[in-house]
Amino acid sequence: MKETLQSRGSTAVRTRFFKRYGKYLYLLPAAVWIVGVVGYPVTRAFFFSFFDYNPLRADRTFVGLENYVRILQDPVFQKAMINSAIWTFGCVFFQVVFGLIGAVLLNQRFRGRGGIRGLTLIPWATPSVLAAMMWMWILDGNYGLLNDVLKRTGIIELPIPWFSQTTTALPALMLIDVWQGIPFFAVMLLAALQQVPGDLLEAAKLDGAGPWKIFWSVVFPLITPTLLITTVLRIVWTASYMDLMMVVTQGGPAYATLPIPLSAYYTAYSELAFGEAMAKATVQALLLLLFVLVYLRLFRRRGAVDDVQ
């Protein structure tokens, strides 16, 4: 307030400048970081995708769109794209469903609620490599707990080699990721549920609505913005996630669990074709971008991005 009283020449100009543009300065540290740590490598990667580049050699030759053409025609990459789609949408779908159920559950009143909410977050907080090791042991084809339980209850006769079959490998990995991701959704949705004003619920009850109707007509629309944001974030993370596949199955067996990011990684470090690898990474980024744009457009009316409550 003091500043506006001073109106002497350059000081006035300076203060007006700060008033108008000062707020952008707050964005500067984050912006610099993103440009430097994220933007620069991404741009560089995009640049490399037009070259034939062996990381152990010093030279690179420009090949234009050849990398892109080659990877899109490669049946292995096509499988990777399908795997990524199944992986991303499958995992997120189950996380949304069970996360929502969990949030409703945790929103009830019961003793020890705070503690149980805290405990729920532990799978989310576990490093992915450790989670992978834990589940690898539980799902072990010979000595695993799950196989043992299934055998004892008579559901199966011979133990299932979860990670050695093309049919069960990806679902098994999805189980691990869903297990890790449900707490995230549960906690986010719980926060949203708690923001629902009590009097709205009261009013609905007075109007004679049953709990099911209350949920879908009153509660659900109010938590939709949070749900949509959380989902889109989770989709973006899950699409780029390759730790589990790398540790547990290395993309196998027979490419059954190979997602796009892992495919890019192997292309870069085993086949030493960095240019192709960067092309794969770029294709993924573009697909994600496209998806997010479509998603935002679709749900703009429901208040997805711009107007956060």
Residue 185 CB, nearest approach to another protein (Å): 13
Which DSSP state fits 38?
I
Compute, in degrees rounded to 10, the torsion defined by CA atoms 195, 199, 205, 207.
-130
247 near another protein (CB under 8 A): yes
299 near another protein (CB under 8 A): no
Among 56, 41, 43, 79, which Cα is nearest to 273's?
56
129 near another protein (CB under 8 A): yes
Kindly identify the residues of this chain, within the stretch 20-79, that bind another protein according to CB under 8 A: 23-24, 26-27, 29-31, 33-34, 37-42, 44-45, 54-57
Which region, judged by CB under 8 A, interacts with another protein, from 3-11, 89-97, 126-134, 201-209?
126-134
135 near another protein (CB under 8 A): yes
Using CA atoms, how far apart are residues 170 and 253, in angstroms rounded to an integer?
10
Stretch 221-240: interaction string toward another protein, x if CB under 8 A: -----------xx--xx--x
Using CA atoms, how far apart are residues 276 and 269, in angstroms rounded to an integer?
11
CA angle 303, 304, 305 (to 5 degrees): 105
Using CA atoms, how far apart are residues 147 and 164, in angstroms rounded to an integer?
14
Kindly identify the residues of this chain, within the stretch 155-174, that bind another protein according to CB under 8 A: 158-159, 161, 163-166, 169
Of 138, 196, 214, 222, the residue at the interface with another protein (CB under 8 A) is: 138
Residue 256 CB, nearest approach to another protein (Å): 9
5 near another protein (CB under 8 A): no
Using CA atoms, how far apart are residues 302 and 229, in angstroms rounded to an integer?
11
| Residue length of the chain | 309
288 near another protein (CB under 8 A): yes
Which residue lies nearer to another protein by CB, 218 or 277? 277
List all residues 6 or more positions away from 194 whose beta carbon is below 8 Å from its beta carbon. 107
- State the number of binding residues for another protein (CB under 8 A): 94
118 near another protein (CB under 8 A): no
Kindly identify the residues of this chain, within the stretch 85-114, that bind another protein according to CB under 8 A: 102, 105, 108, 110
Using CA atoms, how far apart are residues 100 and 33, in angstroms rounded to an integer?
34
